[in-house]
Amino acid sequence: MKVSAAIAHILKCEGVDVIFGYPRNAVLEEAAKAGIRPIIVRQERTGVHMADALSRLTRGRRMGVFAMQHGPGTENAYGGIAQAYSESVPVLVLPQGYARRLAYVPDNYNASLSMRDVTKHAEPVTDASEVANIMRRAFTQLRNGRLRPVLVEMPWDVLDEETDAASQYRPVPVTRCAPDSADIHKAAQMLVQAESPVIYAGQGVHWAEAYGELQALAERLAAPVCTSLEGKSAFNEKHPLALGAGGAATPGQLRRFLDQADVILGIGCSFSETAFGVRMPTGKRVIHATLDPADFNKSIMCEMALAGDAKLTLAMIDTACAGLMKETRDIEPAGREIAAAEKEWMREWLPLLTSDDKPLSPYRVLWDLQHTVDVANTIITHDAGSPRDQLSPFWKTTEPLTYIGWGKSTQLGYGLGLAMGAKLACPDKLCINVWGDAAIGFTGMDFETAVRERLPILSILLNNSAMAIELNQMPVATEKFRSTDISGDYAAFARALGGYGERVSEPDDIKPAIARALAAIDAGQPALLEFITCTETRASRL
């Protein structure tokens, strides 16, 4: 078979059933011949975002794959790959490349060289007979260790060559590793002896599917649990020990308990210092348990370092703690204290969440959304900027992987592709992206992809006709030249692309409009609700 067909055959062997892309790339056609569904996007970056969500929500069992043409198509995809890299999400990137004799000619974009900084592994196919070995290396990197994008560049002259190298291909093995048992015992001693332990959970809990182990340890220790944005929904946020998720905006109870903790167990997290993550308190005893040793002492000094899979690590710590404790602790006192702290914090925010003001408060829109949809059967994601800060502290998840959180890089327009990829991964769930009128300018045309590919998502657009969070940064430019103004009728835009579109400006119309959009979605039509909001910039920055 040709190399392009061999690659499609290998994708099929590895369980790939959907490939995202933009022509021209020979693998897209060969994938279709092999029974793999090609989904063609309007912009390359959105296709990578869709692949990202598919990988996340299936824990890599249905690996997200994106294929694009050489040159401009590959260049346009860079941002999406960089975003997946920053979020530690495995995506297989298959750019077509210039012919081998042209691969290193100046001005010809060489993906395997230029994307090394945003991929875990990048390799070109330079010999048809090596295609199986190259793809085996790629999938081994995608499925093992710290998960990040992997790139295989395919020069166009290689794709048409004949090879039999893929005929004996077998799926790659998946491994897990665990920390040293002696270190586990020391960590357990620290936790059992702590007066105010707190568990900080990252997205490694999602990848390891360590939900039961996390809850068991928390309940044994009566230890409050908070998560990173990426880790949000790893712990039931209506559990008495839940502190919620933190980022640039943080729930009050999370801040209080994290600040008063004496020992913090970070599990499945990087503790990366970022403006869009939880500000970690200083002077705490920290146990850092994560898969990648490169994260130890990177941003936060740790007393104990445990390298390993989150599920195995949590189970080992829980067993060690059980051996050191006479009985499981009562979670009720901690639960009462958390509830009281949350009530105090919410007293400040409830007026915004229930505001009858016009233009609408974005907090009211999202509060009503949460009290209209079935949260347990919904997957929601924010976009960059204000929507992230207005949604994440208040939206309470109860089931794993029902919130796609992100923030180490903050590219506008990321949420739309994530919602579409989520709908592919979980067709029975309501999939929502929340964005603003700035974000839709980056990827909005791919709402047509949702229509064309029959992906009925709910898009919540908060339209304040301005780059609101930039107003205090550009007062003169705004006053003299209106530089931060934005305009558009986005509900009409959605209708023009074949979706359901409705503009809402009255507080009492929020819930009925959501109900009408849900009816359209049930009928198979993507829906965009455009809410006319004020330029609200307040956030719970604690």
**Coil, strand or helix at 430:** strand
pLDDT over 90 percentage in the chain: 93
- Using left for φ > 0, alpha for ψ between -120 and 50, and beta otherwise, residue 182 falls in alpha
Give the residue-averaged pLDDT of 51-74.
96
108-138: pLDDT as tens digits: 999 999 999 999 999 999 999 999 999 999 9
Q: What is the mean pLDDT of residues 90-103?
A: 96
Q: What is the mean pLDDT of residues 393-397?
A: 98
The confidence score (pLDDT) of residue 204 equals 98
Which residues neighbour 44 within 8 Å (Cβ) at sequence distance 6 or greater? 22, 66, 68, 73, 74, 76, 77, 80
pLDDT digits (tens, 9 = 90+) for 146-184: 999 999 999 999 999 999 989 889 999 999 999 999 999
State how far the Cα of 423 lies from the Cα of 413, in Å rounded to an integer. 17
Query: What pLDDT is stored for residue 408 in this prediction?
Result: 83
Domains belonging to the chain, first-starting first, are: 3-159 (3.40.50.970), 181-338 (3.40.50.1220), 354-532 (3.40.50.970)
Question: What value does the mean pLDDT of the chain take?
Answer: 96
Residue 83 has pLDDT above 90, yes or no: yes
What phi and psi values does residue 179 have, to the nearest 5 degrees?
A: -70, 170
Question: What's the confidence (pLDDT) of residue 471?
Answer: 82
Residues 200-229 pLDDT 10s: 999 999 999 999 999 999 999 999 999 999
Task: Give the mean pLDDT of 387-402.
Answer: 97
Percent of the chain with pLDDT over 70: 100
> What is the pTM (predicted TM-score) of this model?
0.96
DSSP state, 329?
P
Radius of gyration of the chain (CA): 24
pLDDT for residue 468 is more than 90? no
In the block, which residue shows the tokens 């109900």?
515
466 pLDDT tier (thresholds 50, 70, 90): confident
Residue 472 has pLDDT above 90, yes or no: no
**421 pLDDT above the threshold of 90:** yes
pLDDT of residue 409: 85
- pLDDT tens, residue by residue, 291-341: 999 999 999 999 999 999 999 999 999 999 999 999 999 999 999 999 999
| Tens-place pLDDT, residues 225-253 | 999 999 999 999 999 999 999 999 999 99
Per-residue model confidence as pLDDT tens digits over 479-510:
999 988 888 999 999 999 999 999 999 999 99
Confidence at residue 523, expressed as pLDDT on a 0 to 100 scale: 98
Q: Return the axis-axis angle of helices 181-193 and 310-324, rounded to nearest 10°.
A: 60
Q: Average of pLDDT values for 530-541?
A: 94
In angstroms, the Cα distances linking 521 to 40, 267, 457, 489, 516 are: 21, 37, 7, 21, 9
